[in-house]
Every structure is written in structure tokens, then in C-alpha cells.
Structure 1
Amino acid sequence: MQTWPKPFRWLLLALLVLAMLTAVSLIGGGFKTATQDHAKQLFEFASNPFMGLIIGMVATALIQSSSTVSSVIVAMVAGGLPITIAVPMMMGANIGTSITNTIVSLGHVSNKEEFQRAFNAATIHDFFNIFAVCIFLPLEIAFGLLESLSGLLVSVFSTGATAGVEGFNPVKALTSPFIDMITLLTTQLPAVYDGLARIILGLGLIVLSITWMGKIMKSLMVGKAREILQKSLGRGAVSGITSGTVVTVLVQSSSTTTSLMVPLVGNGIVTARSIYPFTLGANIGTCITALIAALSITGPNADLALQIAFVHFCYNVLAVAVIYGLAFIREWPPRLSYQLSLKVAEQKVYGLAYIVGVFFVIPLAAVLFVA
């Protein structure tokens, strides 16, 4: 891919963004058609916030892309999924995405000291995201904090689509020809199958487009991203968080950003503690994908789609502000990850048990318990 001409890669990137926006519209329209406006009843099992959290977490751990899952959630909200169900799903996606850099750390398993450092660096992200859920999920259940804050942001940035004053939308103008062509083919089917066909096509397209967007962005920006990383380390928390945000926006993947740092720590180039703020910035930077996805939504649920994208943004910003901003909580994620890494370095099987247990066994056991 590096050998491809740069103008061609930029053109391909633009086409992939268009494909992603088309996919989001397809999923939203298909979801609405398939459920016949009964999305709430369909997801009644996920009305328990813990179920929503687990769905988002396991889906992201399996796909290994919070960008994909968050974009799908935006599309489902546009199709009628209640936002109260979607909020915990977004939180779960944050935990699920942590699995990628934890798996990357296993590449150092042959060297005890390197493995300890790499596992320490990887699991800081895990513990931070788990603490964020422990703090903000109860606040959301009790007070609807994120839903209220995101609603305020929507009132500021709303396009007026819900009021029926929908003006020219360049995203809709670009995606409509493709959506209309696919809809023309699928409308020959019964409503449920019509909707399912569009959802399946949309899911395939969104996974494909976001995967290739990440690859193209990496080929275009990874050198710049590494330069930003090296310049930011050791320059303070604000610099680290800002740089982590910028790098993640550049490469369109928080997993890529955090995984870039694991080998650096494993090889002793930087310390796990020094990359902590950079990791937090990655959480904020990954919100850009859901916000872009929300731009493709028009119609009565456009503001709700934008709201769930803002939920993702508010959640990550507040998590950084609270956990890193409060001195007595700030050191918990790095301390716990360090203690865990010492045990895993001694008994490597604990590392595998940790990944399988935290990301799959515990969530699935919780599903059985809640059900």
C-alpha cells in the first residue's frame, strides 16, 4: 500500500468515507424497515443497562473496532433504537476496544521483562475504561447525565431536521444515489427481509470501509503519528492527551494508537506511566468516527443519531476529566495494571485467562445472571 501513489490513496480514502456514510444510512433505514418502528420492543431484553453494556463490549471485542460498533449504534438509533439502550452500548464499546492492545502485548511473551512492561502498558487502557464505566454507568442510570449533556449539545448544533426544516445536506446528496439503487433492489422483498438485506449489506460495507480507512490512514499518517507521539511523551498530561487525540483522529483507530505504544514500552524505550495520558487522548480521538457517521443521517431521528454520537464524546471527555483530573483516582489504573503485569509475567497463563475472562467469560456469565 505504501507503494501506491499518494493522490490515489487520498482519493481512495475519500471514497471509503463515502462508503462508510452510505453504510450507516443503509443500516439505519434497514433497521427501521425491519422493525416496523418496533425497535424498542425488539430490544426490550437490552432495556437493562447492564445488558446494553455487555452487548457493546462483546461486539467490540469480537470485531476489534470500537469505531465500527459506535457507527453501527449511531445507525441503529437513527432506525429507532431508544437512546437509553444505546448509551450503555457505547460505554461497552470503550471496554471492548481495549482487547486489541492487550493481545498485541502477547507478542513479547518470550521475554519475561519485556512482557511485563508491555502487558502493563496495554492494561492501563483496560483499567481506565472499566473505572469509567463504574463511575458513569450508575450516574447515567440515576440521573441520565450523558443523555442530558448530549441533548444540550444537540440543541446547539442541531440542523433543524426534526422540526421539518431540513435544508440541503451534502452528505445525503452524495449517498442518496447508492442508497436509492440498493433500496430499489431490496424493496421487492417483504418488509422484514428488505430491512435485513439492507442491514447485512450495510454491516458488510461498514466493516470493509472502516478497516480499509484505517489501513489507508496508517499508510498516509503513521510516520506523522509516530513523530507526534515521540514529541509529546514526557511533556506533561495536556500535551499527551492532546497528542493522543490528534493521532487517533489521523489514523482513525484508538486500537492502532494504543497498540503503537505497547512495543515501545515493551522494549524499554518509554515507560508505561509516560504513555498513560496519550492513551486517554486516544479514547477522545476515536469519537470522531461516530460524529462523522451521524452526519449521514437525515429525517425525524437525525438529532437522536447526533445525540448518541455526542454521548460517546461527552463520556470520554468526562472520564478523562474525572479519573485523570482527580489526584486520588488518577494512579489507580497504572498501579493496578502494574500489579497485574507482575503476576502475568510470572505465570503467563494468567494473561490468557485475563483476556478470555474479562472480555468474554464474565460478560457472558453476566448475561445468564441478568436473564
Structure 2
Amino acid sequence: MCTGEPLLLPKHSSSRLRSFFEKNQFRTGYATHGLFPYRGKFHPQMIKALINIMGLKPGDTILDPMMGSGTVPIEASLMGINSIAVDASPFCRFMTQAKYDALTISQKPLHSALKNSKTLFELFSKQLGLPVSGSKTRNGSRRSEFTGVKESITAFQSTLIDRFLGLIEGVDKDTLDFLLLAYLDSAGYSERSKRKPPIEQFQAILERYVFVVQKIQYVLEGSESILAKADIRQGDARKLDLDDEHVDAILFSPPYSFAIDYLANDSFHLNILGEDIERLREKMVGLRGKPLKEKYSIYIEDMGKILAECARVLKPNRLCSIVIGTNDNQLSKALGIPKEEVTGLHKIIIDFSKIRLRNCIKII
């Protein structure tokens, strides 16, 4: 999976960028993990290692209650391990589903899409809006607004396939979602950079996406049956829609308190999905509340609920692994105390686990 060219870079890419991916090809450049550069994502090799350390076997089921970009369900599927992946963000659900489906998606419509990339871009931008180049800063805040979304994807998805049929033979919902993810990826780049027009960003990213599909499907040819099922959901980690003692393992990384405002980062994508961002904010762990101290207090309360749910749905004598940092610097500012006096998030999680997870926890 990891050998050969890690990904297809645009011809204009700098030698520095090409060198980076050549040296780091064994990190995230395999399967569909590299689709969409989501902030704070796992390295898939770390997930593979943890799944092995936790003793999971093909046919077992692992839960990621805060899946983000979907590294756990994608990697688990490649290992023959079933997964349930949950996130409060509808964009995370959409992104993960598209990446999972891309493991087995039909390639013929994708090559047709490449030939008609300009027309596809015009159709997407006309119906869904177009980002303003360079409108978003590194921290996710906006200097200017994108051109307004005219129609959400949920509003016209039923008719969009009919519009594509004249351009792309064999198009279906999986193809449509794959192409839309490429468009959203290009929109994100356009918001952060003025180096290339949005149409050129889309064409380059779509070409890279199709290359990714070709590569992983070449590797999997003849052994597609090893892929395990991924049940990908939008939901609340504080109240999981799962029976007691339902899963064989849990592996996730919670938000580092309020370190990243994922809603601001994904605002263009969420608007396209027809979401009310401020209403969604009340469901996002780490974003609820206004003053920093209030956010911190609510975050701790929410994490307690999440760990209680983990203890409830995990089978006896099985493991829950949580990947988390200390976040000392930000907590020091929020609480108004010296960094040395801050109780790191990792320590808080450990203390919670002693009561709610019966000590079946690994902390990294």
C-alpha cells in the first residue's frame, strides 16, 4: 500500500513539497487516508499499531465516538475489523463516508469526471457557491465572506445525479459524494491561498483523488473481501445510540479542549451541507460556552459523560485507548494560572478512567 509514488502532485509543485512527500510516503500517503487535509488528524500507522496492541482480530468491532476525519474506521476496515464511527459534525460524517466508499468506488465515472472537470466545477460553483480566494486566515477566521451558497447539497442532491448523467456515464451517489469532497477540498485551498484560481485547484485535486483510488484499488484487487464494514454515523458521543457492552474496543482522540474551532474551519463545507453552524456549536464538545473558563468547565463535564458512555458500551475486560495531549499552554491562559499549576488533560482523563472505565485505558 505504501510503496511507489505516495500521491499525485500538481506539475507546478515546488521541489520542497515533492521532497516532503517522498520522504514521508509511509506516513499518511496510502489508501484513502490522504483525501482531504483535515486538521488534527491521526497518522494511520499509529492507529494500526494501537489496534494491534489492543489485540483486535478480524471480525471484532471497534468504536471511535469522535471520528473526525475517519482514520480509525478506514484503517480498521483495511485490517478486516468492523467499526462504528460517530461524530457530531455532519461534514465529518460525509467526509468519512466518502473516503470509505472510495475504497471500492467504480473508477470509470471518475475518469469521465476528469475529462469534464471544468464543466463539473462550473456546476458545483453555480449551485453551491464559490469561496473567495485568500479569505480565510491560518486560524480559520475570515477576512471576507465567500460568495453565498445558493442551494445546499441536501436540497438538490436528488436531482444532481440527473444533471451529471449527461456528463458522466454510470454516476451514482458514491461518485457524486466523491466529486463533492474534491470540490470542498479545493474550496478550502482557495480560501487559504490566492496562488491559483479555484478552477485550477479543483482540477489538480480531482486528479490527485482519482490517482488515490486507482492506487488503493490496484493493491486490493482480488482481495476486496477482506474489507470490513464501517458503520459511519452523525451523533453525540455523550449519548451513544448503542447497546450496553456492544463493542470490542474503543479508540479515539477528543478535542484538546477548545484548541481548534472546527466549525469556523469547516464553515464553507457546513453551509453547503445546509447546517446552522451556531445551532451545531451547542452540540460540539470543546466549543460550548463563551468565556474560556466556562468552555473549560463544560468541556470537563462533557468528557465525563463521554467516558461514562465508553464504559457502558465496551465489553468487559476490553480496552479503550485515548490519544490526547496536555494542552497546558492554552489551559494556563484560560484558567489564569501558571502553566506549572495546570492539571493537564491527560491527567484529567486518567482520573476519570479510574472510576468510569474500570482502569481499562491506555494513555498516550
TM exceeding 0.5: no
Indicate the TM-score class for this superposition, using the shorter chain for normalisation. 0.3 to 0.5
Structure with more of its chain in helix, by fraction: 1
Structure with more of its chain in strand, by fraction: 2
- TM-score, normalised by the number of residues in structure 1: 0.33
